[in-house]
Structure 1
Amino acid sequence: MAKFENMLVALLICALIPNITHVDANFSKSMYLTWGAQHASILGEDLHLVLDRTSGSAAQSKRSFLFGSTEMLIKLIPGNSAGTVTAFYLSSTGSQHDEIDFEFLGNTTGQPYIVNTNIYTRGKGSREQRFFLWFDPTADFHNYTIHWNPTEIVWFVDSLPIRVFRNYENEGIAYPNKQGMRVHTSLWNADNWATRGGHVKTNWKGAPFKASFYHFRARACKWNGAVSINQCASNIPANWWNSPVHKQLNHAQMRLLNWVRKNFMIYDYCTDAKRFNGHIPPECFKTQF
């Protein structure tokens, strides 16, 4: 049965890939280092972030965007990466900021990497969903995509949707649709929480730790302030990510999403009633597919 399911997933992926149109971007033209520059490097389409005892490192895009499809190929830290976090995310600024996260939590040698997803709206987060990755993310580059439009946000790993957050703003549930966000990458030490809740500390004998990024693509609407909200939310052909076909997952994508969630999800804030004192966030009662 497991073999049949794996074959089905492979066929569904192949059916989806031809519909993806890639537009190449260039790290050196699109992003710049924000801290830890002595550890990091940008050359053409390559970005390398390094962490040692003295500092981690980070980069961000020169522009902000409102809606679009943003992706990177990432190869994570090999070996014992416990305590480290490699991140790819979108974020605005200020106390009322919006944010959409991919965070990769390192682990001890031989243990699976965990990908932590989160979303902040108007400065409020605490919406984590976590998954084991079903492959070795340190052996080669894999594609991680954040697809964000006025209707929904979808997190993709190698074209497989792993999470959806839909827009229920008309029911009083905040949705990120009024602030442009820059693209960020970072690598830092988070051994106070990242691995088994902080019980496993970073082994600095393995430093320096390096994460590699390749082929940054931001096929997105350039943010030029509040006047561009309507333009970025419009359904003009250039904003293909807003088209009806991207308003919700198709049946094949929904089957992939359910496969990932059934087999690899390890934490869902929507089932953590204790964390919210019995008051589960309202979006958890809505259809997210």
Structure 2
Amino acid sequence: MNSDTDQIRDEFDFEFLGNRSGQPYSVQTNVYAYGKGGREQRINLWFDPAADFHTYSILWNHQHVVFYVDEMPIRVYKNNEAKGIPFPKMQPMGVYSTLWEADDWATRGGLEKIDWNKAPFYAYYKDFDIEGCIIPGPATCASNPSNWWEGVTYQHLDSVAAHRYRWVRMNHMIYDYCTDQRRNPVTPPECMAGI
């Protein structure tokens, strides 16, 4: 999802990274807020995403952004505006899909090169669905009672979802910008908020 603005764009990404044959596929998520990204997290998927269709979804409300794979929460980005941390909520976003060459960083840091002999590359989608606020949107979205995603039930992870989220982080997370001391010698403030 992308606000399609250059300087202060908001964006949520699911990025499928290259893999070595026989190894798990990795998916990276990223959050841009007011033009600042660099909030990557990577997990190894517990299945082969090329073997069958799976459900990838984003719950975005005024409390948090939650990335899901087959209803399993894999990433939570909380709204901590009260602590001065940007949170995307003022710009409309569209849904985009691209296939792009990221040979220098996405394939195990450039160690695995793209095999162009296997081109063309395809991505397939089915049962696509989107629910959201219409423009002008975000300011009036939270107060509309018909927007189920703003309801009390969706303002935090319930105990089952929190357990699943911890399981993903403990067993499948392979990179978190929050713990990358080389990139971030000082822990980014949003990383201190917990789940």
Structure 2 equivalent of residue 238 of structure 1? 146
Which piece of structure 1 moves more, 89-98 or 181-190? Answer: 89-98
Query: Structure 1: which 5+ residue stretches go unaligned?
Result: 1-88
Q: Aligned partners of 2:8 and 2:36: how far apart in 1?
A: 8
Equivalent AA in structure 2 for residue 255 of structure 1: H
Per-residue deviation, 1:230: 2.4
Per-residue deviation, 1:111: 1.8
2:165 to 244, 257, 281: 257
1:135 to 47, 51, 57: 47
Runs of 4+ that moved beyond 4 A: none
The root-mean-square deviation of aligned C-alpha atoms, in Å, is 1.2
Are 1:281 and 2:169 counterparts? Answer: no
Are 1:181 and 2:124 counterparts? Answer: no
1:161 to 73, 77, 86: 73
Please give the secondary structure, in 1, of the residue aligned with 2:182. coil
Please give the secondary structure, in 1, of the residue aligned with 2:21. coil
Q: Aligned partners of 1:212 and 1:173: how far apart in 2?
A: 36
Q: Aligned partners of 2:177 and 2:141: how far apart in 1?
A: 30
Q: Aligned partners of 1:99 and 1:210: how far apart in 2?
A: 23
* Residues 57-68 of structure 1 aligned to structure 2 (within 5 Å): none
* Residues 9-20 of structure 1 aligned to structure 2 (within 5 Å): none
Structure 2 equivalent of residue 229 of structure 1? 138
Query: Structure 2: which 5+ residue stretches go unaligned?
Result: none
Q: Deviations over 1:184-213 (max 9, x none)?
A: 111111112110111221111111111111
Percent identical among aligned pairs is 50
Equivalent AA in structure 2 for residue 188 of structure 1: W
Are 1:269 and 2:181 counterparts? Answer: no
Please give the secondary structure, in 2, of the residue aligned with 1:209. coil
* Residues 1-289 of structure 1 aligned to structure 2 (within 5 Å): 89-224=1-136, 228-234=137-143, 236-276=144-184, 278-287=185-194, 289=195
Per-residue deviation, 1:109: 2.1
Q: Structure 2 length normalisation: TM-score?
A: 0.96
Equivalent AA in structure 1 for residue 176 of structure 2: D
| Greater share of residues in strand | 1
Q: Structure 1 length normalisation: TM-score?
A: 0.65
Q: Aligned partners of 2:105 and 2:3: how far apart in 1?
A: 21
